[in-house]
């Protein structure tokens, strides 16, 4: 197995993952028995050079970056992802129904994460520049003319509100990590509350986000910024959860959590995909593979989940996969 790790600016993305523990698990299979009945389809190939969030494993557990690096166009026909080519990281687009080549959409140095606008006309993204991250907006058709919209030292994880009046994002400062918004109409910035990975809700002035508790575990919270009510909806003393995404019908939350595989004198930690209702009920783990399943998103009709994983490749090469959602 070849160890190929791409280092990008302040943050890291992995294309080929390898360590001593990984030699004891099998990435080559597409699915395992716990995933029986689920159809998996590989969307990309190794020549797409799909980026994958950094995953760090140790004997005590696993940590991972929760940057949003996968999205789907408003019409559901194109999937956008980050790709490392020619020593730069950019957004590339690929038609879901075709196995052709991907098309470069931005011409930057180190794009860190991004989000399609609800109408499909724009993309907002964060870019790493030295030790800073700022957020930009560009046209989804060509992506070469960009407008910078924040000036913080560490601004990332941008996402549009459903009415496209605001771009929510995460800002890291000396005092901690908090959620902000940029008003597209008047250029105002607003600071809401502590947290990261904001995901706005459609029919109320609220968002789902990630927070780290006093024990160091990440939880999923619902924040109503009109009433001020803040509610923890997903928490586990033994696990962390990140990257929440609301389903198109507003009923489900998709998110990433850590898992543990145990054997004879062997313990291996990885990341899997989980789902629950927006109130935290019907909590379920839906992937169980030894590979890291990350950055999940919904198809526009809610029937499928797209995600990044090394599954199906013995060398641990990351690709985009699609799985059915049957709940």
Confidence of residue 44 (pLDDT cuts 50, 70, 90): very high
Q: What pLDDT does 241 receive?
A: 98
Is the pLDDT confidence value at 19 over 50?
Answer: no
Q: Rounded distance, CA 266 to CA 259, Å?
A: 14
CATH of domain 4-324: 2.120.10.30
Does residue 3 carry a pLDDT above 90?
no
CA distance 287 to 58: 21
C-alpha span between 17 and 15 (Å, rounded): 6
Which residues have CB under 8 Å from 316's CB, separation 6+? 1, 16, 17, 18, 22, 27, 291, 310
Instruction: Find all residues with CB under 8 Å of 135, minimum gap 6, and list them.
Output: 124, 125, 126, 148, 149, 150, 155, 156, 158, 167, 169, 182
Q: Where are the domains of the chain?
A: 4-324
CB 310 within 8 A of CB 11: no
Q: How confident is the model at residue 24 (pLDDT cuts 50, 70, 90)?
A: low
C-alpha span between 319 and 233 (Å, rounded): 31
Q: What is the pLDDT of residue 15?
A: 36
Q: Please say whether the beta carbons of 161 and 206 come within 8 A.
A: no
Question: CB of 111 within 8 A of CB of 91?
Answer: yes
Q: Does position 67 have pLDDT exceeding 50, yes or no?
A: yes
Q: How many CB atoms lie within 10 A of CB 200?
A: 22
Strands (E), 225-303: 230-234, 241-246, 252-263, 266-277, 284-285, 294-298
pTM for the predicted model, two decimal places? 0.91
Q: Over the range 272-298, which residues count as b (16 or more CB within 10 Å of their CB) and which as e? A: bbbbbebeeeeeeebbbbbbbbbbbbb
Instruction: Give per-residue pLDDT as tens, 100-157.
Output: 789 999 999 999 999 999 999 999 999 998 889 999 999 998 878 899 999 988 999 9
Distances (CA, A) of 281 to 11, 121, 211, 235, 276: 34, 35, 19, 12, 6
3-state secondary structure of 117: coil
Q: Residue 235: name the closest of 252, 258, 218, 215 by CA.
A: 218
pLDDT for res 13 = 41
Q: 284-285 and 266-277 as β-strands: parallel, antiparallel, unpaired?
A: antiparallel
User: Which tens digits make up the pLDDT trace of 195-215?
Assistant: 999 999 988 999 999 999 999
Q: Tell me if 82 sits within 8 A of 28, measured CB to CB.
A: no
Q: How far, in Å, CA of 15 to CA of 286, rounded? A: 24
Q: How far apart are CA 112 and CA 190, in angstroms?
A: 22
In whole numbers, what is the pLDDT of the chain averaged over residues? 90
| 170 strand-pairing partners | 156, 179
The residues, ordered by sequence, that sit 6+ positions from 45 with a Cβ below 8 Å of its Cβ are 99, 319
Return d(Cα 322, Cα 327) in angstroms, integer: 16
| pLDDT tens for each residue of 71-102 | 999 999 999 999 999 999 999 999 988 777 89
The SS3 assignment for 105 reads coil
- CA 288-290-295 angle, to 5 degrees, is 70
Report yes or no: 287 and 261 within 8 Å, Cβ to Cβ.
no
Give the pairing type, strands 88-95 and 132-139. unpaired
């Amino acid at each position: 197995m070849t160890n190929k790790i791409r280092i990008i600016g302040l943050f890291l993305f992995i294309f080929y993952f390898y360590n001593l523990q990984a030699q004891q698990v099998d990435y080559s299979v597409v699915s395992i028995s716990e995933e029986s009945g689920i159809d998996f389809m590989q969307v990309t190939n190794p020549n797409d050079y799909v980026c994958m969030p950094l995953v760090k494993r140790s004997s005590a557990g696993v940590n991972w970056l929760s940057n949003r690096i996968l999205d789907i166009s408003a019409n559901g026909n194109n999937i956008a992802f980050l790709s490392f080519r020619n020593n730069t990281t950019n957004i590339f687009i690929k038609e879901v129904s075709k196995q052709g080549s991907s098309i470069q959409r931005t011409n930057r140095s180190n794009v860190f994460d991004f989000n399609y606008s609800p109408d499909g006309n724009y993309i907002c993204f964060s870019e790493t520049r030295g030790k800073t991250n700022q957020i930009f907006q560009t046209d989804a058709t060509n992506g070469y003319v960009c407008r910078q919209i924040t000036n913080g030292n560490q601004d990332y994880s941008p996402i549009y509100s459903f009415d496209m009046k605001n771009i929510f994002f995460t800002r890291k400062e000396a005092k901690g990590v908090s959620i902000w918004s940029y008003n597209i109409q008047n250029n105002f910035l607003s600071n809401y509350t502590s947290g990261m990975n904001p995901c706005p809700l459609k029919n109320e002035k609220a968002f789902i986000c990630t927070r780290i508790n006093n024990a160091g575990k990440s939880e999923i919270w619902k924040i109503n910024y009109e009433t001020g009510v803040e509610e923890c909806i997903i928490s586990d003393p033994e696990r962390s959860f990140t990257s929440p995404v609301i389903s198109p019908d507003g009923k489900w939350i998709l998110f990433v959590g850590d898992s543990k595989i145990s054997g004879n004198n062997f313990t291996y930690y990885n990341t899997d995909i989980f789902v629950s209702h927006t109130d935290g009920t019907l909590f379920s783990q839906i992937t169980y593979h030894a590979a890291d399943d990350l950055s999940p998103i919904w198809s526009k009709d809610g029937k499928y989940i797209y995600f990044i994983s090394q599954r199906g490749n013995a060398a641990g090469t990351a690709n985009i996969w699609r799985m059915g959602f049957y709940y």
